[in-house]
A and B are shown apart, each in its own frame.
Chain A
């Protein structure tokens, strides 16, 4: 997961209902909360209400959320290929 745009809300970023940790932190393996199991799609961007934005570089079954509010997929306006 890559942070494309930072935001205050990311301090409570969760995936599958569990708090997300930094790359170098030791993950605390917990199961996915069935309430947050819609999953993420590779290459899609997800946004929080404060504008914070994430790019999914490895997809999974957990839903991204800030607290209990799921992030939403950003629908990008398609640009014509230019190079």
Chain B
């Protein structure tokens, strides 16, 4: 099954339905289908082996993704925020590519043999090109995404047609959305959530409203103008939207469902969001590039049960990423690789049709039994709710003891003087690594370092007390809100101020 079949089904069931709204463009399912057919013809005629996109996304993402699928070629949206050099290094890793680029990025392959065509030109040619249609196998690669590389060099994840269609058809009911439903998409095109959003909203029959350059006021205004019912945000976006909502001028009456994910949302921010949008169903979505987007969901009902707060078992689930979606199996393994039961921490392993099995040039991503190591620390509770404890690479080893930064962060972020906090290990002659709490103070407060250390000591074992507390104005983050811990550690080590 090819991802193009998802578009075939949508276009054949309701070709006149408005499928995409992007700036002043409105495109029906039938028009998208025609563009993808013609686009496949353009790609076929080009003789390229791989299709690359450098740009802001919006309409171009589904057009190119489906055109590439119909022409039987893999597709890679690249992070347009990288330097020209960073982009050309990634392009050089892909075979005989054709690059489609937005106006501002036409120079990305300057000085190389790589062919570049502008997005406008591509769409213009697609409108008149003789259509082409190949039928890729489920094991053929549909999309290659580079991981964000916050903990290591970017890896090229090969998502097959089988991976992506398995994700969509097991987690989304075809044409199940209400005709008036609209999803606001502001995640970038090169992120797995951008790929997932284009596929699953199209399949659900939900109009996609694109906001390609995030701004919280524009986000709120689009929700109102387009009667948006569903939206997905990363934590940094949620933080800024909450800031606008707190001004009290907007109630977002059409919004029914707000999903958040991409990185951890701290609990005080989530509680504030829940309070400001009492009629919205919140969804915490957890997934990785390698898992074709979401593998676990904390549902609106879970959020409501947690907020009611009459049962500790339910209320602590506000910090959970929920339970696995159908088709996903999970295992938590300790240091020796043995599977552990509820309540015991270890590394999370996942298995299922939506999980990628290969990295380009690196080979298999899975163990012999088909399990993928997420490198995320996790526990499950008795009812199967999954709690994440940070990346295993971020573990601090202080005096021989393994310490998960998340454990200390979860405590400190609840202190009224703390706006946000990251705990890292800094090189230390005595302990090997010392625990450093890097804190953004809450607006208008000037916290006392010793008071914060005492606050941690009051609720955790003494070995978890930060050795040092450092104050900063902001954290270095990538575009999807992932905090760049490695950069924080490097700056601490260099003695430079953070950030």
The interface of chain A, by Cβ under 8 A from chain B, is 2, 4, 42-45, 55, 57-58, 76-83
A83-B169 in contact given A2-B5, A43-B174, A57-B8 (Cβ < 8 Å):
no
A83 to B186, CA, bound (A): 10
Which residue of chain B lies nearest to A79 when distances are taken between CB atoms in the complex?
B171
Partner of A81, one of B12, B175, B204, B287: B204
Min CB distance, A64 to chain B, in Å?
16
* Chain A residue contacts of B285, Cβ below 8 A: 82-83
Task: Report if B232 contacts A (CB, 8 A).
Answer: yes
A44 to B9, CA, bound (A): 11
Task: Report if B183 contacts A (CB, 8 A).
Answer: yes
* Chain B residue contacts of A76, Cβ below 8 A: 173, 326
A4 to B1, CA, bound (A): 9
* Chain A residue contacts of B175, Cβ below 8 A: 42-43
* Chain A residue contacts of B261, Cβ below 8 A: 82-83
The interface of chain B, by Cβ under 8 A from chain A, is 1, 5, 8-9, 12-13, 169, 171-176, 183, 187, 193, 196-197, 200-201, 204, 206, 230, 232, 257, 259, 261, 281, 283, 285, 287, 293-294, 297, 299-300, 325-326
A43 to B6, CA, bound (A): 9
Check B257–A81 contact: CB distance below 8 A.
yes
Check B257–A80 contact: CB distance below 8 A.
yes
A79 to B281, CA, bound (A): 12
Min CB distance, A41 to chain B, in Å?
9
Which residue of chain A lies nearest to B300 when distances are taken between CB atoms in the complex?
A80
Most buried by A among B5, B174, B232, B283: B174
Min CB distance, A79 to chain B, in Å?
6
Most buried by B among A2, A55, A81: A81
* Chain A residue contacts of B169, Cβ below 8 A: 4, 45, 55
A–B Cβ pairs within 8 angstroms, 28 of them: A2-B5, A42-B9, A42-B174, A42-B175, A43-B173, A55-B1, A55-B169, A77-B326, A79-B299, A80-B259, A80-B283, A80-B297, A80-B300, A81-B172, A81-B200, A81-B201, A81-B230, A81-B232, A81-B259, A81-B283, A82-B200, A82-B232, A82-B261, A82-B294, A83-B187, A83-B197, A83-B261, A83-B287
Known: A43-B175, A83-B259, A83-B294. 15 other contacts (CB 8 A): A42-B12, A42-B175, A43-B174, A55-B1, A57-B5, A80-B259, A80-B300, A81-B172, A81-B183, A81-B230, A82-B285, A83-B197, A83-B232, A83-B285, A83-B293
* Chain B residue contacts of A44, Cβ below 8 A: 174
A48 to B175, CA, bound (A): 23
Which residue of chain A lies nearest to B302 when distances are taken between CB atoms in the complex?
A80
Check A79–B325 contact: CB distance below 8 A.
yes
Min CB distance, A74 to chain B, in Å?
10
Which residue of chain B lies nearest to A75 when distances are taken between CB atoms in the complex?
B173
A83 to B203, CA, bound (A): 12
Check A78–B232 contact: CB distance below 8 A.
no
Partner of B173, one of A57, A78, A82, A83: A78
* Chain A residue contacts of B287, Cβ below 8 A: 83
Check A2–B1 contact: CB distance below 8 A.
yes
A16 to B462, CA, bound (A): 72
Which residue of chain A lies nearest to B353 when distances are taken between CB atoms in the complex?
A4
